[in-house]
Amino acid sequence: MSKPPIDEEFAFDPTDQSKTQDFGLMAEIRREKPVCRPMDGVVLTTRYEDTTEAFCEAKTFSSVGDMRAPGIVVPLEESFMGELDAPLHTRIRRVLHRIFTRRGALASESWTRAEVRRRLSLLEDRGEGDLMKDFAIPVPGSVAAHVMGIPEELHDPLMEWSNELLHSSWPATGKTERGEGIAACFPELTACVDGLIRAREEAGEDAPPGLLTAMVQACDDEGRVISAHHARTLVVNMLAGSLSASFMLGNLLYRLLSDEAFDATLRADPDKIPVAVDESLRLEAPVSFLFRRARVDTELGGCPVHAGEQVMLGMAAANRDESIYPDAESFRLDRELPKAHLAFGVGPHVCLGNHLTWMIGRVALEEVLARFGPDRIRLPDGFEWVCVDHIQEYGPEQLPVTIGS
């Protein structure tokens, strides 16, 4: 196939948030040229069917470099789960999937609810705070750390370091001004996680229960499944990955505080809370897109794709595909999803934490509504929503609030 030119009408840099999270632009692309080439070597999908096809065709589209800037590939043991291809991806996923099930999420619900209540109580006692910094950021990370069997006193510092990592250049490039790789870039985080791994290696059968112990001790016919170095990366993966749930919470809480009808509907009919979580994940997908790399010459939606090119899977754009979701640009609590939204992806790399994330959103809404009456918790007058500074994540950077008596 001859190499097609960039689609100049829709040209943009995939690292430019002002473009990738411009839903009007994505809707225009979806109408005019739903699979296009916004940059040399990059192909963008904006329709549900094309995006789903690329997610599911793992033999055609490699996951290596899925969260990185175009052209960036990090060493295998510095790679998150979403960046791994089979057979290693399959071997590791088999270990992790024992915990990340719907039953596992339900088993964590009572601990999650207690943690949500504790965090809300601290906010209530102070009478003010930032719902992102004081609630939405730490809660999902604490749940992930709890599932891994990490002591509670380490939850907050681990999430502070993970939040620092998310806001750095490391997710896009694998390095920062400190150096290259997690150990060089984030020495405090590395020391803490490596210490937890080493303690479980030394404890053997006496190691504490939890996913981290399962990761450290997992062996199959080929030997140890996850090296200590890669175990460190995957712990960081799960902690930093929980921040997507944080931005889901931020999106839900912002809507609750800024939309009186939404608040009133959920109070009158709490059975709609699960629908609210799914509709937020669809309309306000906390991860806007992921990358895949074409292994062979192929095509998507009639657009040629060359071996080696990156495919930018527009999850947020696909979630607003009018051919799949009627009235797609509206947040509707009466919506019945004809097809599952793509906030968690689909196919062999579907997000392992999807059940936990959904449970956290439901529990958080239930507890906030139960604790605070209408208009008791308020955003400041003139508050302006600002998106988190990250090329893929979508959610509020801050949610400052005051809490009345």
Encode pLDDT of 222-279 as tens digits.
888 999 999 999 999 999 889 899 999 999 999 999 999 999 999 999 999 999 999 9
Half-sphere exposure for 281 (CA within 13 Å, toward CB): 25
With a cut of 80, say whether residue 4 has pLDDT above it.
Answer: no
Greater confidence (44 vs 72) lies with 44
Q: Which residues contact 160 (CB under 8 A, 6 or more apart)?
A: none
pLDDT value of position 100: 84
* 205: exposed, middle or buried (Cβ count in 10 Å: 0-12, 13-18, 19+): exposed
- pLDDT for position 1: 52
Res 337: pLDDT? 84
Considering Cα of 65, then 67, then 68, then 74, what sign does the dihedral take?
Answer: negative
| 366 pLDDT more than 80 | yes
Domain map (residue ranges) of the chain? 8-403
Q: In which band, very low, low, confident or very high, does the pLDDT at 216 lie, cut at 50, 70 and 90?
A: very high
φ/ψ of residue 317, rounded to 5: -65, -45
Can you tell me whether residue 122 is helix, strand or coil? helix
Query: What's the pLDDT tens digit per position in 266-296?
Result: 999 999 999 999 999 999 999 999 999 999 9
The residue type of 176 is T
Which pLDDT belongs to residue 311? 95
CATH code of 8-403, in short, is 1.10.630.10
- Examine the pLDDT at 2 and tell me if it is beyond 80: no
Res 67: pLDDT: 78
Angstrom distances, CA of residue 194 to CA of 143, 227, 228, 326, 358: 20, 12, 8, 49, 29
Reply yes or no on whether the pLDDT at 74 is more than 60.
Answer: yes
Give per-residue pLDDT as tens, 81-118. Answer: 999 999 999 999 988 887 888 888 889 999 999 999 99
Q: What's the whole-model pTM score?
A: 0.93
Mean pLDDT of the chain: 93
Alpha-helix residue ranges (DSSP H) falling in 1-149: 17-20, 23-32, 48-56, 88-96, 102-107, 109-126, 131, 138-148
Q: Name which of 3-12, 75-84, 211-220, 333-342 the model is least confident about.
A: 3-12
Is the pLDDT reported for residue 405 higher than 90? Answer: no
User: What whole-number distance in Å separates Cα of residue 161 and Cα of residue 137?
Assistant: 12
Cis amide bond preceding 4, omega within 30: no
Task: Provide the pLDDT confidence category of residue 220 given band limits of 50, 70 and 90.
Answer: confident
